[in-house]
Amino acid sequence: MKVSKRIISYQISGESILIINTLTGAVDIINPQVYQLLRGDFLPENPQIDPEIITTLIKRGYLITNEDREEQVLGHITEAYAKTQKRLTFVLCPTYSCNLKCTYCFEGELTYDHSFMEKKDIDFVFAAIDELRRTHANRKHTITLFGGEPLLPKTKPLISKILDEASKRSLPIHIVTNGTHLGRFTKELNINKSLIKSCQVTLDGPKSIHDSRRKSTTGKGTFDLTCLAVDRLLDLQIKTTIRINADLQNIDSIPTLFEFARLKGWIDNPLINFMISPVLDHSCKKSYAYFVPEDELVGRLLQVTKENPYLEKFLELGVFKTIGHISAVIRGGRPFQPLLYYCEANNLEQIVFGPDGYIYPCTECMGNREFALGEFKPYLKLYDEIIKMWNERTILSMEKCRECDIALLCGGGCAYSALMVNGDINQPVCNRARETIFAYLGSIKDELLLKANA
Ligand SMILES: C[S@@+](CC[C@H](N)C(=O)[O-])C[C@H]1O[C@@H](n2cnc3c(N)ncnc32)[C@H](O)[C@@H]1O
Ligand code: SF4
Ligand code: SF4
**Is residue 35, in this structure, part of any structural domain at all?**
yes
Residues 48 and 107 in one domain: no
Number of domains in the chain: 2
For residue 134, count other CB atoms closer than 10 A to its CB.
8
- Inter-CA distances, 167 with 164, 176, 338, 377, Å: 5, 18, 35, 22
Ligand 3 center–CA 392 separation, angstroms: 16
Spatial contact of 353 and 125, defined as CB atoms under 8 Å apart: yes
- Whether residue 67 sits in one domain with residue 97: no
Q: What pLDDT sits at residue 163?
A: 98
Q: Quote the pLDDT of residue 46.
A: 66
**Confidence band, pLDDT 50/70/90 cuts, at residue 414:** very high
pLDDT at res. 44: 57
Q: How far is the CA of 412 from the centre of ligand 3 (A)?
A: 5
Least confident interval from 72-86, 224-238, 396-410: 72-86
In a domain, 326, yes or no: yes
13 and 155 assigned to the same domain: no
Report yes or no on 398 lying in a domain. Answer: no
Q: Which domain holds residue 38?
A: 2-80
- Sign (positive/negative) of CA torsion 71, 73, 74, 75? positive
Instruction: Judge whether 188 lies within some domain.
Output: yes
Residue 48 has pLDDT above 80, yes or no: no
Protein residue closest via CA to atom 14 of ligand 1: 105
Whether 267 maps to a domain, the answer reads: yes
| Mutate-to-test residue for ligand 3 from 343, 400, 437, highest number of ligand atoms within 8 A of CB | 400
Residues 208 and 336 in one domain: yes
Instruction: Check residues 72 and 376 and name the one with the higher pLDDT.
Output: 376
State the maximum Cα–Cα separation within the chain, in Å, rounded to a whole number.
Answer: 78
Which residues contact residue 321 at a Cβ distance below 8 angstroms, ignoring those fewer than 6 apart? 339, 342, 409, 410, 411
Same domain, 157 and 171: yes
Neighbours of 280 (CB within 10 A): 17
> Do 99 and 186 fall within a single domain?
yes
For the residues 141-155, what does the mean pLDDT come to?
98
What pLDDT sits at residue 202?
98
What tens digit of pLDDT does each residue of 172-218 get?
999 999 999 999 999 999 999 999 999 999 999 999 999 999 999 99
Indicate if 68 and 183 belong to the same structural domain.
no
Task: State the pTM of this model.
Answer: 0.94
Q: Kindly state whether residue 392 falls inside one of the protein's structural domains.
A: no
Domain end position, chosen among 298, 324, 353: 353
CATH of the domain at 165: 3.20.20.70
Which of these ranges, 64-73, 139-148, 198-207, has the smallest mean pLDDT? Answer: 64-73
Count of positions (residues) in the chain: 454
Domain boundary among 337, 353, 369: 353
Produce one character per residue of 89-120: b if its CB has 16 or more CB atoms within 10 Å, e if not.
Answer: bbbbbbbbbbbbbbbbbbbeebbebeebbeee
Gap between the Cα atoms of 216 and 199, Å rounded: 20
Give the domain-ending residue among 80, 110, 144. Answer: 80
